[in-house]
Amino acid sequence: MNKIYNPDRKEWKAILKRPTQTVADIEGTVSDIFREVAKNGDAVLKKYTAEFDGVSLENFLVSKDEIEAAVKWVPNELKEAILLAKSNIEKFHKAQKSERITVETAPGVYCWQEKRPIEKIGLYIPGGTAPLFSTILMLAVPANIAGCNEIVLCSPPNKEKKIHPAILYAARLCGVTQIFKVGGIQAIAGMTFGTESIPRVYKIFGPGNQFVTVAKQLATKYGVAIDMPAGPSELLVVADDTANPAFVAADLLSQAEHGVDSQVILVSTSKSIIASVEREVEKQIQKLPRRAIAEKSVANSKLIYVGNDRTALDLINEYGPEHFIICSAAEDFYVDNIRNAGSVFIGNYTPESAGDYASGTNHTLPTNGYAKQYSGVNLDSFMKSMTFQKISADGIREIGAAIESMAEAEGLQAHKNAVTLRLKSLEKY
């Protein structure tokens, strides 16, 4: 692990650089596949499913019989865990509902705002070595609370032409309307343009590798919204001598095992904690099934010592971590002053894993420094705010002259006339 002591502020940008890879070659591949899918639909999905996933499919839609069969394979203990997580996620996201906001801005001028659901959304759920069924809970649960009509899910098939049973169980439980055995770039393209099988959606959610990330960004050029720019998972822990080194090490490794390009950082005002955490990481990593992945990720990790909490906070806000864990006697200082973080975990008994699965908050969060300007997924991510207004005769009298004056000043005579005609029609009353 890379240990850095009292880095100069001029060095922070270089020290905090993410281990992202170039996407120049990926962009060309993504653009080519998008053009093919837009032109030839399902035929292209079949072509790339065979090429990238190694299976030939005639039908992408997962049948009800397949779902029922898969549900039987999910152990009861896991089903109970998923139900608990779903309940907590529902509680937290239902609490985010807001009422209509109505204001009479001037006598006779009524304005209000209401939120309406996005009608059609698409969920991308990775399969592979880590089938992220938990992400279905994080996305489909708030989508249902918001009232989205169509929830389309795409996930890559395995060599047996199936989707992981836990993914199918969670999808059925959370009200997903259609499930398709399509992964990668072709899945994002299918939901962007629509094919003979896959409906076109209005907004796409979900994580993925660099190919999926670039594909989602390209989808925005074709009128489809996405949840947020995304990148490899990341975690930053701030810890002092009140922290438990074993807990901190376990949290760092929990994110390191996501992928070889994940990044984990420890910032501390204690050199002894840094040494203890490093020893714990070396010990715990030996027992991980995904050790090879975690080891490569840990090679990108940083152990940073700074002299005081103010410097630590400034460095953390500069980084803008996806996940931020606070294990410090100065807990309130960090909670009150953190400005850039996707989700914050407070105290020795609040592991980041809780947010990933079952505490109730959403785990779909901004990475790569986007926490400086993006929120994580929440109920509003599945809704649109619409404004309404109704103006009475007295209301147009109240603000009409101001509208006329402003429109004339901007040289927009038709705008002025739209008000002038109404005001003249009221002169006889």
Q: Which two tokens stand for residue 422?
A: 């109404």
Gyration radius (Cα) of the chain, Å: 26
Q: 258: annotated binding-site residue?
A: yes
Q: 410: annotated binding-site residue?
A: yes
| Cβ-contact 165, 11 below 8 angstroms | no
C-alpha separations of 162 from 86, 166, 318 in Å? 24, 11, 43
Q: Is 164 a catalytic residue?
A: no
User: Residue 50: enclosing H or E segment and its boundaries?
Assistant: none
The values of phi and psi at residue 169, to 5°, are -65, -50
Q: 356: annotated binding-site residue?
A: yes
Catalytic residue among 234, 257, 322, 352: 322
Catalytic residue among 234, 323, 352, 363: 323
Q: Is 323 a catalytic residue?
A: yes
- The Cα diameter of the chain in Å comes to 88
User: Which neighbouring-strand residues pair with 104?
Assistant: 110
Sheet of strand 263-268, all strands in order from the earlier edge strand to the far edge: 2-5, 302-305, 263-268, 234-239, 323-327, 343-346
Please give the distance of CA 101 from its chain centroid, rounded to a whole number. Answer: 27
Q: Note the residue count of the chain.
A: 429
| Cβ-contact 153, 125 below 8 angstroms | yes
> Residue 75 half-sphere exposure, CB side, CA atoms within 13 Å?
3
CB within 8 Å of 427: residues ≥ 6 apart = none
**Rounded Cα–Cα distance for residues 283 and 276 (Å):** 11
- Strand 109-117 to strand 101-106: parallel, antiparallel, or no bridges (unpaired)? antiparallel
Q: 186: annotated binding-site residue?
A: yes
Residue list, annotated binding site: 124, 186, 209, 233, 255, 258, 323, 356, 410, 415
Residue list, annotated binding site for NAD(+): 124, 186, 209
Q: Which residues are catalytic?
A: 322-323
Residue list, annotated binding site for Zn(2+): 255, 258, 356, 415
Residue list, annotated binding site for substrate: 233, 255, 258, 323, 356, 410, 415
